[in-house]
Chain A
Amino acid sequence: MSSTPEPIDAELISRREAIMRVTAILGGVAFVGSSALLTGCRPDAGKKTASDSTAANFSADDIAFLDELADTILPPTSTPGAKAAKTGAFMALMVRDTYYPDDQRRFRDGMQKIEDATQKAYNVSFMKATPAQRLAVLTPMDKEQWTQSQAQEDAERKKALAHLGEERKESAPGTDVGAATAVQQNTGHHPFRLIKELALLGYFTSEIGCTQAQRYAETPGRYDPCAPYKAGEKAWAGHA
């Protein structure tokens, strides 16, 4: 073979895993080999299709919608909510810059579903709905995505473990490589999972999320391996 083979889909680390790695690092669990991070892979099914510009571009109205959406997931409490942390603009930027077209469309579909469900339930747009109505719309969607994601992760883990100890097959690109292929034969994730994930990432890595929702020490200067903790105290935010 005289040129670099086109990487097959199964070889690619997905956007989802990339985000999960980031969240793992920022969330301070980088050293724990969290299985959700390592097996939460899927092929970039949409990679070879042309970029869908409508799905990738967000208007000011879209960003306002995403702000309200994120603020429903993470509303103001004793600390500011996701809208104050400009989470909507962050979500739009991430969908534009880091998602492949399939996920861009899935994310857009998710926004539309939320709008449709609000109209259906309350005969009002999501933007005009009350916070209580918005929460009532998102709660069953969250349940649905959670159930689907759990099942997907369990299936992925089982597939990966079924290949443990199997003699490594020919690993030329494009051929079966046992676990490597099996793990990543996954269908797409639930649209609300994408929305929720980006809202969480955007909020908890923002300045407000780090310094108000959590505690932040840029340079801790020391390590205490066993510090006292009282219930209700905030978490320490990550750094790099």
Chain B
Amino acid sequence: MTTDANTYDAIVVGSGISGGWAAKELTEKGLRVLVLERGQNIEHIKDYVNATKNPWDYPHRGGRTVAMEEAYPVLKRDYALNEKNLSYWASDKDSPYTEVKRFDWYRGYHVGGRSLMWGRQSYRWSDIDFEGNLKDGIAVDWPIRYADLAPWYDHVERHAGISGSHENLPQLPDGQFQPAMPLNCAEDMISQRVKKLFDGKRHIIPGRVANLTQPKPGRSQCQYRDACWLGCPYGAYFSTQSSTLPAAAKTGRLTLKPFAIVSEVLYDKDKKRATGVRVMDAVTEQMSDYSAPVIFLCASTLNSTWLLLRSATDVWPGGLGSSSGELGHNLMDHHFRVGAEGKIDGLEDKYTYGRRPNGFYIPRYRNLNGEKRPYLRGFGYQGGAGRDGWSRAVAELGVGGQFKDAMSQPGGWTIGATAFGEMLPNHANTVTIDQNRKDKWGLPVHKIDCATGENEALMRRDMANDMAELLDQAGVKDVKMYNAPCFPGMGIHEMGTARMGRDPKTSVLNSHNQVWDAPNVFVTDGSCMVSTACQNPSLTYMALTARAADFAVNELKRRNL
């Protein structure tokens, strides 16, 4: 049923990092916007029910039970399954998916999406990343360059609040930063030593993180509780709830509709435009249609593509955007869980106070400036140093009073870092729809077929060895490498499957994130990505979304949509 009450100036599907930005930008530019969120509402602060609990307030002290594992057959594969923020993670049972190869998919189906639980590391990409595909002859060229996105990085950083240091590194452009969360004394000591090693090409810098170090209107600076994933009662980290949703709501032009599962984009083949979306009420399962001249798909990488695959199938059997032959292809993630760690001698008279929700970052240095490794692209490291806590006692020999008192004091300093590596796009890595299997709402589920390849495997040698070498040369003792099982999806940086490009024959979206076959449909979440770089991608989604929203409003004014 379509009524005037169901008509808006723009519809945004999804309320996570990208959807929140779309809502903010479009409402602030004067549009009446409907945001559709498939899951429940989580109200800022009020609904962060565990945010101020103490460790001992949880029966299993935050751990996981067998019953939880049975209820969450996917989530249990990694850290995400825990007692403290379980309600923020989507139910694997309600929303199953088919794995041709193992793919770990950790989802947040509620207002705010994964912006509530994200790692908050926020890095700009550079032209080294945007030009990579063209230079290497991989996949297709990005249709944009750093200069296209730089003003939008500025824009989103100023509002979101990113703390970080200015480093003047071409591979990791500086931004509009609040003061950095400093390196601690051990990190600083190792950082100073590393400056003199490796021809000065490797840098240990403070992580750039979406946690405030100075207050913003309605938000206080970080209180160093390190409990971000519970929702922050101070609004000190960027989330839809703390940052973009209040801005959108303030305009008076936002309508937020939770429990609204969008099942397809409605398409008018004569006008060659989308007209709206079909929505299932997640509670009553009743269907209704909503219309708008502009539609933003921000439902997360695999879900925005799922929607496209199901839309306009009377015109294109493979779905809206499938004329390129690339819809659903080139699924990517970062690969990680490999690195090294060791012990630092000295600094026994130093400690830290406060729980910094951040660590250090080592920007990419491989395959730059003419270097040629046996693989393409590179990786960055995220790590930290600290004095060991009581948990070291598990692996230490000892029982009794002396042991207990010793373990009640801080241990020695340790340092370690995990590499995050770029994964190349590969047409064979796909998401399709499994028509034989339905979710709780009777909708067909995703079928994911994705694996890393030889380039990633070769890169992992350097990812482990380089960190061991760096630590060793910097005087760290007892250095150990590690290489843990890593499957696509574990990085929770799903990208690709509706890539941007310069040619409608080889890409789903153009340079402004418009679907080539339906220019009033914009896709600005991770599905638009043409390559992964090695930096965490969320800041780039924010910038791409704000840029596309600006373009959409201008096009609307010019009556081009």
Do A27 and B183 have beta carbons less than 8 Å apart?
no
Do A33 and B416 have beta carbons less than 8 Å apart?
yes
Do A32 and B224 have beta carbons less than 8 Å apart?
no
Do A220 and B223 have beta carbons less than 8 Å apart?
yes
Q: Is residue A23 within 8 Å, beta carbon to beta carbon, of the partner chain?
A: yes
Do A164 and B339 have beta carbons less than 8 Å apart?
no
**Contacts A7-B73, A221-B223, A225-B352: A139 and B399 contacting too (C-beta < 8 A)?**
yes
Do A93 and B230 have beta carbons less than 8 Å apart?
no
**Contacts A13-B77, A22-B61: A75 and B395 contacting too (C-beta < 8 A)?**
no
Give the segment of B263-271, B274-282, B299-307, B405-413 that binds chain A: B405-413
Give the segment of A34-42, A58-66, A115-123 that binds chain B: A34-42
**Contacts A28-B389, A200-B390, A213-B404: A224 and B98 contacting too (C-beta < 8 A)?**
no
Do A31 and B405 have beta carbons less than 8 Å apart?
no
Q: Is residue B543 within 8 Å, beta carbon to beta carbon, of the partner chain?
A: no
Do A38 and B484 have beta carbons less than 8 Å apart?
yes
For A220, the chain B residues whose CB sits under 8 A away are 223-225, 353-355
Closest to A24 in B: B391
For A28, the chain B residues whose CB sits under 8 A away are 355, 386-389
For A27, the chain B residues whose CB sits under 8 A away are 388-392
Give the segment of B28-36, B237-245, B451-459, B544-552 that binds chain A: B451-459
Interface size of A by CB at 8 A reads 113
Do B480 and A225 have beta carbons less than 8 Å apart?
no
For B225, the chain A residues whose CB sits under 8 A away are 218-220, 239-240
For A223, the chain B residues whose CB sits under 8 A away are 181-182, 222, 224, 352-356
A222's partner among B100, B227, B353, B388 (CB-CB below 8 A) is: B353
Q: Is residue A100 within 8 Å, beta carbon to beta carbon, of the partner chain?
A: yes
Interface size class of B (residues with CB under 8 A): 35 or more
Closest to A212 in B: B408
The distance in angstroms between the C-alpha atoms of A167 and B401, with both chains bound, is: 50
Do B353 and A38 have beta carbons less than 8 Å apart?
no
Do A12 and B389 have beta carbons less than 8 Å apart?
no
The distance in angstroms between the C-alpha atoms of A229 and B401, with both chains bound, is: 22
Q: Is residue B146 within 8 Å, beta carbon to beta carbon, of the partner chain?
A: no
Q: Is residue B216 within 8 Å, beta carbon to beta carbon, of the partner chain?
A: no
Q: Is residue A54 within 8 Å, beta carbon to beta carbon, of the partner chain?
A: no
**Contacts A224-B352, A233-B409, A238-B355: A1 and B391 contacting too (C-beta < 8 A)?**
no
CB distance from A22 to the nearest CB of B (A): 5
For B464, the chain A residues whose CB sits under 8 A away are 161, 164
Residues 61-77 (chain A) with a chain B CB within 8 angstroms? 72-77
CB distance from A71 to the nearest CB of B (A): 10
Q: Is residue B372 within 8 Å, beta carbon to beta carbon, of the partner chain?
A: no
For A232, the chain B residues whose CB sits under 8 A away are 409
CB distance from A66 to the nearest CB of B (A): 14
- Of B100, B353, B396, B398, the most chain A CB neighbours within 10 A belong to B353
For B461, the chain A residues whose CB sits under 8 A away are 164-165
Q: Is residue A49 within 8 Å, beta carbon to beta carbon, of the partner chain?
A: no
For A153, the chain B residues whose CB sits under 8 A away are 395
Do B62 and A240 have beta carbons less than 8 Å apart?
yes
Do A26 and B454 have beta carbons less than 8 Å apart?
no
Do B182 and A229 have beta carbons less than 8 Å apart?
no
The distance in angstroms between the C-alpha atoms of A164 and B487, with both chains bound, is: 14
Q: Mark B411-431, 1 if CB is under 8 A from A, else 0.
A: 000111110000000000000
Do B66 and A226 have beta carbons less than 8 Å apart?
no
Do B99 and A32 have beta carbons less than 8 Å apart?
no
B353's partner among A1, A77, A183, A227 (CB-CB below 8 A) is: A227
Do A235 and B387 have beta carbons less than 8 Å apart?
yes
Given contacts A35-B341, A35-B480, A229-B349, 11 further A-B contacts (CB under 8 A): A5-B99, A12-B76, A25-B62, A98-B63, A139-B400, A164-B460, A173-B101, A183-B485, A219-B225, A221-B224, A230-B349
Interchain Cβ contacts under 8 Å between A and B, 18 examples: A2-B98, A20-B391, A72-B399, A93-B60, A138-B399, A143-B397, A164-B460, A168-B454, A171-B102, A183-B483, A204-B393, A205-B55, A210-B55, A223-B353, A225-B183, A236-B351, A240-B55, A240-B62
**List of 6 A-B pairs having minimum Cβ-Cβ separation, nearest first:** A27-B391, A31-B384, A27-B389, A180-B485, A240-B227, A23-B391
Q: Which residues of A contact B (CB under 8 A)?
A: 1-5, 7, 11-13, 15, 18-36, 38-39, 41, 72-79, 81, 90, 93-94, 97-100, 135, 138-139, 142-143, 146, 149, 153, 157, 160-161, 163-168, 170-173, 177, 179-180, 183-184, 193, 196-197, 200-202, 204-207, 209-210, 213-214, 216-240
